[in-house]
A = this chain, B = another copy of it.
Amino acid sequence: MSKLLQDAVAEFAKLPGVGRRTALRLAMHLLKMEDGAVAQMTESLYRFRHDIRYCEQCNNLSDSELCPICANEERDHSTICVVEQVGDLMSIENTHQYRGVYHVLGGVISPMQGVGPSELKIDMLVEKVASGSVREVILAISTSVEGETTLYYIMNRLKQYPMVRLTTIARGIGFGDELEYVDELTITHALMNRREIMDER
């Protein structure tokens, strides 16, 4: 087998979820693309890895010192939404409903995987809160054991700033979810946090 092909297949197979069969299919697809298109693809991928930076204020992926969200003066810089990772930030941004800024932790506390509080950008968050410019911190962290641990750790670090409102995102039944398939903890939460129906009669 061609060494060039072998190398391309081996490189594709390093990506998550890509086995040898898929890697071969992807490599063969490159041959159907224009030479220039492949050059552009590989350059974009390399430049992304090489030139990407982390926002100095919120730890979001960024092309410069500040990410476009932190650099945007029309966003509410006194409301910080704390998320585990950049993907979570993107999911929230995609709703186009949130006008505050973010703080990306870079993971959750996980003793099993050797991730302690110091591995996460928690000090950076506490400093921001200590500066006095923050009114609300929304903790949008997953409900896993690690997520809950991280949540309580952050709550503990921030309790010396009682002027700052601490909130978490609402848990409940998702739109389109069928009750039958929703786990009991979520249903219990959803029942306890039930809301009055607006009476429009």
The chain A residues found within 8 Å of chain B, CB to CB, are 1-5, 7-8, 10-12, 14-17, 22, 24-31, 33, 35, 37-52, 60-63, 67-68, 86-87, 90, 93
Contact = CB atoms under 8 A, between A and B. Distances in A.
10 contacts: A4-B44, A4-B48, A5-B52, A7-B47, A8-B48, A16-B26, A17-B22, A28-B86, A28-B87, A38-B50
A183 B130 CA distance: 71
A192 B26 CA distance: 39
Report how many copies the assembly holds. 2
B41 A11 contact: yes
Contact residues of A: prevailing secondary structure = helix
Contact of A29 (B16, B37, B86): B16
Contact of A45 (B8, B16, B17, B50): B8
A30 B50 CA distance: 10
A15 B12 CA distance: 11
Contacts of A52: 2, 4-5, 31
A48 B17 contact: no
Contacts of A35: 49-50
Contacts of A86: 28
Nearest to A18: B26
A24 B24 CA distance: 21
A2 B7 CA distance: 30
Given A11-B40, A16-B26, A1 B90 contact: yes
Given A24-B87, A25-B16, A28-B86, A1 B68 contact: yes
Given A15-B29, A42-B46, A46-B42, A4 B51 contact: yes
Given A15-B29, A24-B90, 13 more contacts: A1-B68, A2-B60, A5-B61, A7-B47, A10-B44, A11-B45, A15-B26, A17-B22, A28-B86, A28-B87, A35-B50, A38-B45, A38-B50
